Amino acid sequence: MQIDANPFPYHFDIAHTALVLIDMQRDFIEPGGFGETLGNNVALLEAIVPATQAVLAAWRQAAGLVVHTREAHAPDLSDCPPAKRNRGNPTLRIGDVGPMGRILVKGEPGSQIIDALAPVAGELVIDKPGKGMFYATGLHETLQQRGITHLLFGGVTTEVCVQTSMREANDRGYDGLLLEDCTESYFPHFKAAAIEMIRAQGAIVGWTAPSPALLAALHSG
């Protein structure tokens, strides 16, 4: 199949492609969560849910592999180095009790994927202790075993966990495409800059395209 993408068309085979939704967690997306306690406007992130839902439904209909990631640490924070936990000067740190339970801790309500994009049986759910989806997760080996060579990305935030994961994927030999209306940042100009970086210099990190381009390819395929 082919997607009309930037900077040039993106070719993929569903059998060797996974849809990756990065960190669509309650604490980042929903009002009253950790993201909002930091002073962010979560409505910006909420706005991408309908487009992401449409992509997820179409990809499931096409029987493609789906990967959901969550940024979540062990309850004892053994996988959260001080350099991460102590960064900045927030009122709440990783592991502290927030509006939806302990912040970015596995099993807590805030770490769960939002209901609108909840995983179903057979989909991969990866708890990652870092910004990138490959660090300390074993995901690369799992994707290799399944013959995955191409990755379609959505999720939050564009400039942090999404871009980090795309760069990690590029270094591991995957061809990645970012769905522009299925990703967002609390800072719109960061999203715009990240998209430009990803597709610069002949797709140095990957391709980008609006989700209707993917839906059109799936419909015609």
Catalytic residues: 23, 128, 161
Contact of 25 with 71, CB cutoff 8 Å:
yes
Token code pair at residue 193 = 């800059």
**Residue located via tokens 């210099």:** 201
Query: Could you tell me the sign of the dihedral formed by the alpha carbons of 62, 207, 140, 138, in that order?
Result: negative
- What's the residue count for the chain? 221
**Which residues, in sequence order, are CB contacts of 127 under 8 Å at separation 6+?**
69, 70, 71, 72, 106, 111, 137
Instruction: Work out whether strand 17-22 and strand 65-71 pair parallel, antiparallel, or are unpaired.
Output: parallel
* H/E stretch holding 22: strand 17-22
CB atoms within 10 A of CB 18: 23
Dist. CA 54–CA 139, nearest whole Å = 25
Dist. CA 12–CA 130, nearest whole Å = 28
Contact of 5 with 209, CB cutoff 8 Å:
yes
The torsion of the CA quartet 63, 7, 210, 167, rounded to 10 degrees, works out to: 70
